[in-house]
Structure 1
Amino acid sequence: MKKQTRKLAMTLVVALSLGSFGNMAAFGQGVQSLRGAGIVGNDPAPASFRVAPDGPPIPRDYVQQPPLIPHKIEGYEVTKNFNKCMDCHSWSRYQEFKATKVSLTHFKDRDGGELSNISPRRYFCMQCHIPQTDAKPLIDNTFRRAEGLR
């Protein structure tokens, strides 16, 4: 009898999960972003979200905020074998391109040990650094820059 109860429970779990995934697919088709555009695959960004022209960096708003990218990065390759960002931002080439060099924090492992190359945790730049945009705030807010950064 124990085997029958177990089989019945497993069948019920499978049936419920299949039903849930079917509903999720239908639900996902009607998702809208707060900027009004539908969210489907790789739709182009709406007109309200465009990368700002190349220019000086926007000041940071809080301590430890990753700097925004002050230039276009369309077509930049960042894979496990190649990182286009390092063409200009590496310690050996940043002066040549008048670029910001990669921070020392990117050369530490999770235990704080020094590495001779960029930490794998920091290698994929666009996980933290994003291009500057001229996007308007989605909603009104009362955010204020960190006191020490004014």
Structure 2
Amino acid sequence: MKKPVLAGIAALALITGIGGLAIAQQQDVKAMRSDPVDALNRLGPDFKWEGKEGRMQRNYRQQPPLIPHSIAQYQIDIRTNQCLSCHDWTKAGERSAPTLSMTHYLDRDGNELDHIAGTRYFCNQCHVPQADVPALVDNRFEPSSPIQTR
């Protein structure tokens, strides 16, 4: 008695799966921007600086700084990180670039290193370029207000 029930459930699942696949293939998948879904996202050439002294305004506490320039041609892989050619503490002064936070030179156990920690090596995990492009979806996000102290 259990075998016919299991066979029926399996057949129903198969039919539902095939029907769902057929419906999904009939739907036209649309990108959120004007480019086709399989095309690379294009960023506008104009990067927007906000705030004073060349720093972009952050929208919430602990937000990683935004990148004020294009990184489209930057090589960031296991062998090379072009961000470090300007932002590493040994070169930032001569390149007039902001240095990396000291947290980027701490290993998982909090030990200070002379080189960037492996957990912080891929910059674009947290830092993204800010581009002046239309929003993908309607957004009602409001930046957090400063902390009030009494």
TM-score normalised according to structure 1 size = 0.70
Please report how far the alpha carbon of residue 54 of structure 1 lies from its aligned counterpart in structure 2 after TM superposition: 7.5
Identify the match of residue 127 of structure 1 among 112, 125, 128.
Answer: 125
User: In the TM superposition, what are the counterparts of 1:84-103 in structure 2 within 5 Å?
Assistant: 84-103=82-101
Q: 1:126 to 1:23 in 2, by over 3 A?
A: farther
AA of the residue aligned to 1:118 = I
Given that 1:60 and 1:67 are in contact with CA atoms closer than 8 Å, whether structure 2 keeps it comes out as yes
Alignment: residue pair count: 141
Q: What residue is the counterpart of 1:64 in the other structure?
A: 62
Conservation of the 8 A alpha-carbon contact between 1:52 and 1:132: no
Segment of structure 1 superposing worse, 132-141 or 98-107:
132-141
| 1:113 shift after superposition | 2.6
Residue 43 (structure 1) aligned with residue 40 (structure 2): yes
Residue identity in the other structure for 1:131: P
2: CA distance between counterparts of 1:122 and 1:77? 15
Q: Distance in 2 between matches of 1:39 and 1:117?
A: 41
CA distance in 2 between partners of 1:110 and 1:147 (Å): 30
Q: What is the CA–CA distance in structure 1 between the aligned matches of 2:142 and 2:48, rounded to whole Å?
A: 26
Unaligned 5+ residue runs, structure 1? none
Residue aligned with 1:147, SS: coil
Q: Could you say if the C-alpha distance between residues 136 and 103 of structure 1 is closer, same or farther in structure 2, counting changes exceeding 3 Å? A: same
Percent of aligned positions that are identical:
31
**1:42 alignment partner AA:** A
2:47–2:132 CA contact under 8 A, matched in 1 = no
Secondary structure of the 2:86 match is: helix
Cα deviation 1:104-150 (Å, max 9, x = unaligned): 1111222323223212121111111111111244324151333149x
What root-mean-square deviation, in Å, do the aligned CA atoms of Structure 1 and Structure 2 show? 3.5
Counterpart CA distance in 1 for 2:45 and 2:91 is 25
Q: CA deviation at 1:59?
A: 1.4
Give the letter for the 2:146 counterpart. E
Match for 1:41: what amino acid?
A: D
Q: The residue matched to 1:30 in structure 2 has which SS?
A: coil
